[in-house]
Amino acid sequence: MPQVSSPLPVNLSVSKFLFTPVERSAPQTRFWFCLSLTFAAIYGILVWQQAFASEYVVQDDTRQHVFWMQRFVNPQIFPQDWIADYYQSLAPIGYTTLYRTMAAIGIEPLLLSKLLPPLLGLVMTGYGFGLAMELLPVPFAGFATCLLLNQSVWLRDDLASATPRAFLYPLFFAFLYYLLRRHRGRSLLQSSLFPYLLALSLLALFFPIYVLVAAGVIALIPIQWQNGKLQWSGDRRDYWFCLSGLGASFLGVLLYLVTSSSDFGPVVSASQAREMAEFLPGGQQAFFRNGNLQQYWLFGRGSGFFPRFLFTPVTLLLGLLLPVLCRFPHQFPLGRSVKNLILFPRLLTVGIAFFLAAHALLFQLYFPNRYSSHILSIVIWFATGISLTLILDALYRSVKQAGRFRLQSLLALGTALALGILLIFYPAFVSRFPAAGYVQGSQPGLYRFFAQQPADSLIASLSEEASNLPSFTQRSVLVAREYAIPFHLGYYRQIRQRLSDLIQAQYSPDQAVVKQFIQRYGITFWMVDKQAFLPEYLTDNKWRNQYQPEVTTTANNLRQGVIPALQRAMAPCKVFETPGIVVLEARCLVNFN
């Protein structure tokens, strides 16, 4: 009769497999690393399913930042296009070079924008796992952190956008990972100095605004927490990493300033923005809160310190417990293995500093929330992964000490099971996961019609559908909601003038005004929503209604029965029609009487 083995070795193996600190080369590390990448790949496949759901799908922000790159495939499209030129001027050099290179080998920019996010997710996961191991060398902690990280990221659209900010987490994690490994190796050459500088350089090339944050973290390298107080580091490598990192950051910022265009400036000032409807409540870029200081400083879009999805998934609330857990080493003994936690206060210090600086220099450093939101998310993600591991380890020890069938043990097992289910199956409880922000075009016939028109066609329209045309048809629009961004006044004044002229021409009863507008801008087609001649079409739309006083005057004229000249010409000048949209030929409109 075979002997029944004691449960003790099993318990020991479970403990070693889950909660024992190990080296990078240990079998447990490889297992949990591969499992982390597996979940990242699964989430990426779900993203691809959305991205390739139909022929006309594009990510929301991609409509701004990628459409113009079709010029790399066909230089004839978007000729002298004010909007395309503006967004091209904003693109960092590394970001542009990547898309240009891939276009040269046959991968079109819009296709690349769909392929990239899951691949960036794998890079982010790889460095996220390594970074977690530098904070707590327990592979399960790396897995838990990466799972939470991926769930949180795919409930936002940062990575899915394939815009410059999609490269932030992969490159910033790489920078932090090599920064924490700077003491590995006996000499400077054996350390992580060169990959650290490479990661920093790539960050400057793809998302240069965050090189400032990296430089802030780098400047704090020589300051160490030892023996309960702050003091200067005694390790020469810390100063090498600090000086070389600051030098690379300076060169990265200088390169961005040299290569970025100033043709569309200046950046709007705080005093100017307070006078613009676009930045006030109800505006497209609502920033100011009419005296609501709490909303403005804490939770406001763009202005508030805290991001809206900081604790999504809800499991991330456990990250707030980390300082408490580390203060009770007897109850949470794995906390003794936590290291490099000074990284968190450094990140928070830098995030707060740049948040306040961005408020002081309002809009010169873009939105203040851009600095605090990413930093807070990073800290919470990794703090939660560590906290969850400490808690599960303590629960395991409790079960082991109390015995399997006692009340304390059952409570511990139940808590561990609930945390495990919430950790792994959270996406199943979300109505839409991943929430990648893809927009599916609803007018395929319209897109095919415009795609068949000459490459230098210019379309005038107040329709929301105009935002999709550059991406789906590779044809220029005079103006559209997606491109009416009011940060650079040299650009936006032109957009504002176009909107004003378009509203006046579309609703004027004078045919001469229509003709003059077409000839001034070189319009080829005029796309009109069939509801466009109702007053509510203007007043009930947040984007159109912010252009005053034109909208109010026009709506009142419509209520009084004024018939626009364009409305009278719709039947004879129609060249294409859908159930909700009519396309008019501008040449016909010029000759219409």
Q: Quick one: average pLDDT of 221-237?
A: 84
Q: Quick one: average pLDDT of 307-322?
A: 91
Euclidean distance between CA atoms 374 and 140, whole angstroms: 24
pLDDT for 293: 83
Euclidean distance between CA atoms 97 and 190, whole angstroms: 31
The pair of structure tokens assigned to 452 is 């068949």
In percent, how much of the chain has pLDDT > 70? 95
The pair of structure tokens assigned to 93 is 């050099």
Euclidean distance between CA atoms 398 and 392, whole angstroms: 10
Return the C-alpha torsion angle 542, 548, 550, 553, nearest 10. Answer: 90
| Comma-separated ranges of CATH 3.40.50 domains in the chain | 443-591
The pair of structure tokens assigned to 537 is 């079409």
**Placement of tokens 């303590």 in the chain:** 394
Q: Quick one: average pLDDT of 219-235?
A: 84
- Of 484, 509, 486, 514, nearest to 499 (Cα)? 484
pLDDT for 558: 93
Euclidean distance between CA atoms 67 and 61, whole angstroms: 10
The string of DSSP letters for 83-110 reads HHHHHHHHS-HHHHHHHHHHHHTT--HH
pLDDT for 272: 94
* Other Cβ atoms closer than 10 A to 429: 11
Return the C-alpha torsion angle 147, 148, 152, 158, nearest 10. Answer: -60
Residues 376, 351 contacting (CB under 8 angstroms): yes
Euclidean distance between CA atoms 17 and 155, whole angstroms: 30
Euclidean distance between CA atoms 145 and 168, whole angstroms: 17
Q: At CA 183, angle to CA 178 and CA 187, rounded to 5? A: 110
pLDDT for 10: 40
340 burial (CB, 10 Å; 0-12 / 13-18 / 19+) is middle
* pLDDT at 23 exceeding the cut of 90: no
The pair of structure tokens assigned to 167 is 């490269």
More reliable by pLDDT, 301 or 453: 453
Residues 502, 83 contacting (CB under 8 angstroms): no
Q: Quick one: average pLDDT of 430-455?
A: 94
For residue range 343-353, what is the model confidence (pLDDT) as tens digits?
999 999 999 99
pLDDT for 86: 95
Mean pLDDT of the chain: 91
DSSP conformational letter for 296: I
**Placement of tokens 């252009």 in the chain:** 547
Query: Which band of pLDDT confidence, cut at 50, 70 and 90, is reported for residue 379?
Result: very high
Residues 151, 424 contacting (CB under 8 angstroms): no
Please give the span between the terminal C-alpha atoms of the chain, in angstroms, as a whole number. Answer: 105
- β partners of residue 460: 526
* pLDDT at 2 exceeding the cut of 80: no
One-letter amino acid for residue 370 of the chain? R
CATH number of 443-591: 3.40.50
Euclidean distance between CA atoms 91 and 71, whole angstroms: 14
- Of 119, 117, 112, 113, nearest to 37 (Cα)? 119
- Of 490, 562, 569, nearest to 528 (Cα)? 569
Where is 154: in which H helix or E strand? none
For residue range 460-513, what is the model confidence (pLDDT) as tens digits?
999 999 999 999 999 999 999 999 999 999 999 999 999 999 999 999 999 999
H helices of 207-273, in order, are 211-219, 236-259, 270-273
* pLDDT at 36 exceeding the cut of 80: yes
Q: Quick one: average pLDDT of 548-575?
A: 93
Euclidean distance between CA atoms 51 and 57, whole angstroms: 6
CB-hemisphere CA count at 13 Å for 296? 12
The DSSP bridge pattern shows strands 438-440 and 458-461 to be: unpaired
pLDDT for 233: 86
pLDDT for 404: 55
